[in-house]
Amino acid sequence: MSSVADAHAADHHDHGPAKGIGRWLFTTNHKDIGTMYLVFSFAMFLAGGAMAMIIRAELFQPGLQMVEPAFFNQMTTMHGLVMIFGAVMPAFVGLANWMIPLMVGAPDMALPRMNNWSFWLLVTGSLILMSTLFMDGGAPNFGWTAYAPLSTTYGPDSTTFFIFSVHILGISSIMGAINVIATIINMRAPGMTLMKMPMFVWTWLITAFLLIAVLPVLAGAVTMLLMDIHFGTAFFDAAGGGDPVLYQHIFWFFGHPEVYILILPAFGIISQIIPTFSRKPLFGYTSMVYATAAIAILSFLVWSHHMFTVGLPLPGELFFMYATMIIAVPTGVKIFNWITTMFRGSISFETPMLFAIGFVVLFTVGGLSGVMLAIAPADFQYHDTYFVVAHFHYVLIPGAIYGIFASVYYWLPKWSGRMYSEALGKAHFWLSFIGLNIAFFPMHFLGLAGMPRRYADYPIQFANFNQVSTIGAFLFGASQLLLVFIVYRAVKNGPKADAKPWEGAEGLEWTVPSPAPYHTFEQPPRVD
């Protein structure tokens, strides 16, 4: 090693984190930033969860008990927005920050200062979004989709703040995605060829591409809302030659790829965890990569399956129906590969693996109800009912959220150097699993029977299933507090973890000590 390099390294890297609050405000370290993302997204998860509890409490009985219908509508809207933009997306970015450099053998993210800005813009955008709850006229109340004219002609004043918060959150995510791509393309250790990358890295590479491709489209959509509200334009007003349906097209051109943004990183996580605890390499790695890419490309061609009932021309209905069903093929490939990886493995059921198996089983339930919704004539019946709410919670909670939970248990030893309590972890899994199914399975029946979503009240015949659902929702909600306790206890005084706490685990992240030192891989490792 040359002396210039030595001097240079000594100049910049020979010490740990800065002291005090400045460490977090000014940091350029991917581990610090990853931690901030994870903590922040978990706080938002609890906030969004509290809103869900308000929704479910109100729906415990028919009639109006707790909240005004106007406030109920704000809760459904903010719950959706907070969960998607505040909880799930940032949690995945946090995981990317922590793990991608460790997994590809890079010293940090490619653009460390911009990385910090991505995080603090997330906080900025979330603050503006949350502040709408305290404004005259209340928070946005038109659903997270912000359809015109609900959001234009009939929206509250806070809609303008909502629009700009979406812009800021979008900028934050785009910068985060650019950083992920640049890191993966440019910072891999020598010998880490593309087809040797861990699946989590692959799925994030594809997710980042989706983010950069569709968030600007969302920005365009909400910009047009802003113009219609304040500058008298007629984009979504047929009286001036525009079309409210145009908004839906633009929104869902963003929205469908967005749902894959919410799930692909979880696919990657599950593809890391199942091989570890099955003590077998991932079955069909190459097909996994191609299936992920295929899903991403197809996701641009199916957006109107959210709009079957809006009055599409018949060829449109047919095209979007068949295109949507085709996505089930690469998704099926993945499920098949996960199950085949487990087949004849010597499986052990630590908490990450439980969540991974829960993922495979319950995500498949959500995937199947998705295929039902894809059938255009059937969707005329299901559209905007609780069947849809059941469907997307089955893909979001056992999908995205279980993926995140699984990764927290799986990598917590690496992050903190300490083990969580396996008994408590299992309790968390089973309580969540039971609560989730009690909460959301009855919603299928409610939806099939015709109960519409986004209403504070319902006819008496829906009461029984709703009561069951609310009980399950509170069980699920309460068991998340257990997660806070488990993580807190582990980090405070859990038993020390080895560099590689899982005997079946593979990958560069397990070659560094636990907890991972502040700076890792300053000299790239060799991969062969």
Partner 1 sequence: MSSNQSYYVPESSIWPIVGSIGMFLTFFGLSTLLVNQSNGDPTTTAWVVFTIGALVLIYMITGWLRDVIRESRAGLYDAQMDRSFRQGMSWFIFSEVAFFAALFGSLFYIRFFAVPWLGGEGAKGTANMLWEGFQAQWPLLSNPDNSQFAGPDSVIGPWGLPLLNTLILVTSSITLTLSHKALKYDKRKQTIYWLAATVALGAIFLFFQIEEYIEAYSHLNLTLDSGIYGSIFFLMTGFHGLHVLLGGIILFVVLMRLIKGHFSAHDHFGYEAGAWYWHFVDVVWIMLFVFVYVI
Within positions 176 to 195, which residues make up the interface with ligand HEM, using CB under 6 A?
Answer: none
Residue type, 130: M
Instruction: Specify whether 256 is catalytic.
Output: yes
Beta-bridged to residue 147, according to DSSP, are none
Residue from 72, 253, 320, 410 in contact with partner 1 (CB under 8 A) = 253
Q: Smallest gap, in angstroms, from Cβ of residue 87 to Cu ion?
A: 20
219 binds partner 1 (CB under 8 A): yes
Give the one residue of 76, 116, 299, 466 binding ligand HEM; rule: CB under 6 A: 76
- Kindly state whether residue 88 participates in binding ligand HEM, applying the rule CB under 6 A: yes
To the nearest whole angstrom, how small is the minimum distance from the Cβ of residue 223 to partner 1? 8
296, 301, 306, 309: CA torsion to nearest 10: -170
Residue 152 appears among annotated catalytic residues = no
Residue 440: half-sphere exposure toward Cβ, Cα within 13 Å: 25
Determine contact, residues 104/197, Cβ cutoff 8 Å. yes
Instruction: Answer yes or no whether residue 256 interacts with Cu ion by CB under 5 A.
Output: yes
3-class DSSP string for 316-365: HHHHHHHHHHHHHHHHHHHHHHHHHHHCCCCCCCCHHHHHHHHHHHHHHH
Q: Residue 396, interface with ligand HEM (CB under 6 A)?
A: yes
Which of the residues 30, 280, 305, 428 is marked catalytic? Answer: 305
Q: Does 133 bind partner 1 (CB under 8 A)?
A: no
Q: Establish if 391 lies at the interface with Cu ion (CB under 5 A).
A: no
CA dihedral 195, 294, 277, 516 (to 10 degrees): 60
**DSSP one-letter string for 411-480:** HHHHHHSBPPPHHHHHHHHHHHHHHHHHHHHHHHHHHHTTPBSS-S---GGGHHHHHHHHHHHHHHHHHH
256 binds, among partner 1, ligand HEM, Cu ion, none (CB under 5 to 8 A by kind): Cu ion
Name the token pair of 2.
Answer: 């040359």
Stretch in the footprint of partner 1 (CB under 8 A) among 81-89, 159-167, 401-409, 441-449: 159-167
- The single residue among 128, 389, 419, 490 that binds ligand HEM, judged by CB under 6 A, is 389
Separation in Å, CA 200 to CA 39, 196, 265, 335: 20, 11, 6, 16
Q: Is 445 in the site for ligand HEM (CB under 6 A)?
A: no
Contact partner, 9, from partner 1, ligand HEM, Cu ion, none, Cβ < 5-8 Å per class = partner 1
4-63 residues near ligand HEM, rule: CB under 6 A: 49, 52, 55-56
Q: Which does 194 bind (CB under 5 to 8 A by kind): ligand HEM, Cu ion, partner 1, none?
A: none
146 binds ligand HEM (CB under 6 A): no
Catalytic residue (choose from 260, 303, 338, 382): 260
144 tagged catalytic:
yes
Burial of 484 (0-12, 13-18, 19+ CB in 10 A): exposed
Q: Which x/- pattern, by CB under 6 A, does the window 91-120 give for ligand HEM? A: ------------------------------
Examine residue 225 and tell whether it contacts partner 1 (CB under 8 A): no
Q: CA nearest 476: which of 368, 369, 398?
A: 398
Question: Taking CB under 8 A as the rule, does residue 157 contact partner 1?
Answer: yes
**Residues across the chain:** 528
Using CB under 6 A as the criterion, which residues of the chain lie in contact with ligand HEM when the complex forms? 49, 52, 55-56, 76-77, 79-80, 83-84, 88, 143-145, 389, 393, 396-397, 400-401, 439, 453-455, 473, 476-477
